[in-house]
Amino acid sequence: MQAVLLQTDIKSDLKLLIELALKLGVNVKTLSNEEIEDLSIENAIKTGATNEFIDIDNYLIKLNNEIKN
């Protein structure tokens, strides 16, 4: 299975693309804003995952120092 994500601010263009996809026999799913956010978060987690453990106390100290500066 393959997927393509299309984004546009012009609703009429998106409607045309959806109509074309349906005529070609392609399944179409319109994502809600919440679903898009969920996919973005999932991607960020996968990208940031290093399988390394960090010292939480040291991390929080560094984070607090960055916030203060």
**Predicted local confidence at residue 46, as pLDDT:** 85
60 or 68, higher pLDDT: 60
pLDDT at 47: 83
- What pLDDT does 14 receive? 93
CA distances from 15 to 9, 19, 26, 43, 67 (A): 11, 6, 14, 27, 45
pLDDT in tens, 3-62: 888 888 999 999 999 999 999 999 999 999 999 999 988 988 888 877 778 888 888 888
Confirm if 14 and 6 have CB atoms less than 8 A apart. Answer: yes
User: How many Cα atoms are found within 13 Å in the side-chain-facing hemisphere of 34?
Assistant: 0
pLDDT of residue 27: 95
